[in-house]
Amino acid sequence: MVQAGSLEQTARAVAVESLAPQIDAGRFAVKTIVGELFVVEADAFTHGHDLVRCMLRWSAEGGGAWSESGMLALGNDRWRGSFVPEQVGLYEYTVEAWVDEAATWLKDLGRRAQAGPVDAVEWRVGADIMRRAAALAAAPGSRSRLATAARSLERGGSVSPSRLAAWVEEAGAHLGRENSTRLAPLRLRVDPTRAAFSAWYEVFPRSLGPDGGHGTLRNLERQLPRIAGLGFDVLYLPPIHPIGRSRRKGPGNRPGDPARDPGSPWAIGSAEGGHKSVHPELGDLDDLRRLVVRARRLGLEVALDLAFQCAPDHPYLEQHPSWFKRLPDGSVRHAENPPKRYEDIVPFDFASPDRLALWAELKSVCDFWIEQGIRTFRVDNPHTKPFDFWEWLLSELKREHPDLVFLSEAFTRPRVMERLAKLGFSQSYTYFAWRDRPLELRQYLTQLTRGPQRDYLRANLWPNTPDILTEYLQRGGRAAFIARLVLAATLAANYGIYGGAFEALENRAAGPESEEYLDSEKYQLRHWVADPLMLDLITRLNRARRQNPALQSDRELVFHGVDNPDLLVYSKSGADQRGALLMVVNTDPFNVQAGWTDLDLGRLGLSGEEAFVAHDLLSDESYNWRGGHNFVRLDPSRLSAHVLRLEVGDQT
């Protein structure tokens, strides 16, 4: 085997290039999930008219045996191959190609036969090819078959085309491979299925207490059947650690009273403990472990918040003062995002001279919660920490526990968000919350699902969070909540809601042009009263996601035409266009909108003008449609979206 670019390459060496997918010339690992078909393409060609054989090779990283399969010629020297990774963790993959002397001989033999009788010497050339291939074959059966082929061709006897083709195929797998070109392996990160398909539900356990009191993890445990019944599979908890008393915040992010106000969960640490402790008012480690076990029995994974920051009275500040930045007057610098100030939070200095000890300690925080049964983490503000830290931490943790899932909460610049995804975050918050109009939604989701990001950034769409109450939700009423819910849950395979506030249709902002909630749950207890219609809609939507594989992937998202700019029409299907679902969403929360669709029938698994039934999984109504042009009308006072399962045949 000759390495690409080496001086020892023979004159017959094959050029292999444009291998895809790869990220930044192989600097970062491509992502897929266990059990999903992973498709690779490359250009492979040689000078002259010789034919090329191209193989896809892969192996679990760490010295495992290499597997391989032949790649399909797509035309114009482009090749495609695929394999299905069967375990989570890191893989390597590459492409190897060489001149296929046997196939070239057979091609030329056919051309000579068209011109007239084939010279006996040409059969002897074929016999020589078979003998040399037999000498290279490792398996006794292959050696025997190729030796038989050599004898038959030497005699110039009559050979059936099918048998001759089989001999040539077998010979081509061995002959010429000593002069093959093999690209340096690339890395593939294989994640668990829940990294690519999940529905998140965020809840503050402290708001679940009876009679307006402080809730506990046991109170949350009693809510598990309800949350699982809504169809969620990830239960996300904001930080559950002791909350600092120094400079504690009260309602509205104003100075609070530690004796009265519960403070912000993100102000972590006090005399009661730090990042490896449970807030005493929530319970203890036994309560958390029991919650994790009982949630898992109901199909729920508990996700914890990783917030690498401290309250001013966190034990770390006294034990490791060098881990924090100091101002010229000797005081500790507090967190801020001008004009916002967070006097109750102190950031770590990740460039501290003692940073190795700091980084090791933060890894031990993750290790601790993993030992308690946690396998999913939502990471607070990762874009404010160094890239090198995340690359090291995620690599170490996933090497030891390849089934971990990390959600990046990075509402930041696009390149920063993308870099974090490349470094190993399993899922990413996006700009979805601020994309309201059909055109901008179409452009943004096309970028996420068709652009280069598709190989490393998995979108997790959230219509709201404790930090984000968009203007659209503030002014649009229930119709706006319905539209955003359906968009989040059907445009992406991963989505989430800030549960209590969303179910209650909470739309009161702290002030004009503010996205902060009035009476934010970040600083006080809130006891929500859910809207029954919203609960029913969430349940129906999550059931549709679980029952329809089309909604469990982002690969086959297709946008369709419609003659009304306030309507968004899109579909999802399997890779073979089977089981397609068609979504129609009215993004105008105030007015009835109607229009005629222009459907790409081929992408829906339909043809021509055949009749089909569009059955709405949300309203349970059915519509008889035909062809690509069909009338839709959505009244936001009733239901602002369709999720349509298409059934061929007029069923009137």
Q: Which residues are catalytic?
A: 380, 409
- Cβ-based neighbour number of residue 255 at 10 Å: 11
Return d(Cα 586, Cα 396) in angstroms, integer. Answer: 45
Q: Is 5 left (phi over 0), alpha (psi -120 to 50) or beta?
A: left
The residues pairing with 450 across neighbouring beta strands, listed in sequence order, are none
Half-sphere exposure at residue 587, Cβ-oriented, CA atoms within 13 angstroms: 19
581 within 8 A of 635, measured Cβ to Cβ: no
Helices (H), 12-155: 101-115, 120-136, 140-155
Element (H, E) at 391: helix 387-400
DSSP character at residue 258: T
Q: Give helix then strand counts, H and E, for the chain.
A: 14, 33
- Cβ-based neighbour number of residue 270 at 10 Å: 25
CA angle 579, 580, 586 (to 5 degrees): 145
Return d(Cα 510, Cα 50) in angstroms, integer. Answer: 72
Length of the chain: 652
Query: Measuring CA to CA, how many Å separate 523 from each of 230, 252, 257?
Result: 27, 7, 11
Return d(Cα 538, Cα 544) in angstroms, integer. Answer: 10
242 within 8 A of 270, measured Cβ to Cβ: yes
Structure tokens at 243: 């909350």
Nearest to 229 by CA among 543, 633, 511: 543
Helices (H), 548-647: none
Element (H, E) at 301: strand 301-306
Rounded to the nearest angstrom, the gap between the alpha carbon of residue 337 and the centroid of all alpha carbons in its chain is 29
Q: Annotate 3-12 with b (16+ C-beta within 10 A) or e (fewer).
A: ebeeeeeeee
CA angle 451, 457, 458 (to 5 degrees): 110
Residue 131 dihedral angles phi and psi, to the nearest 5°: -65, -45
- Cβ-based neighbour number of residue 171 at 10 Å: 30
As a dihedral over the C-alpha atoms of residue 179, residue 183, residue 187, residue 193, rounded to 10 degrees, the angle is: -70
Return d(Cα 74, Cα 80) in angstroms, integer. Answer: 7
CA angle 66, 71, 73 (to 5 degrees): 165
Query: Measuring CA to CA, how many Å separate 231 from each of 79, 226, 363, 544?
Result: 42, 9, 32, 10
Strand positions, DSSP E, 510-578: 558-562, 567-572
Amino acid at 164: L
Rg (CA), the chain: 30
Nearest to 380 by CA among 412, 338, 415, 344: 412
Nearest to 15 by CA among 23, 5, 25, 26: 5
Tokens 């729920």 belong to 300
Whether the link from the prior residue into 339 is cis, omega within 30° of 0, is yes
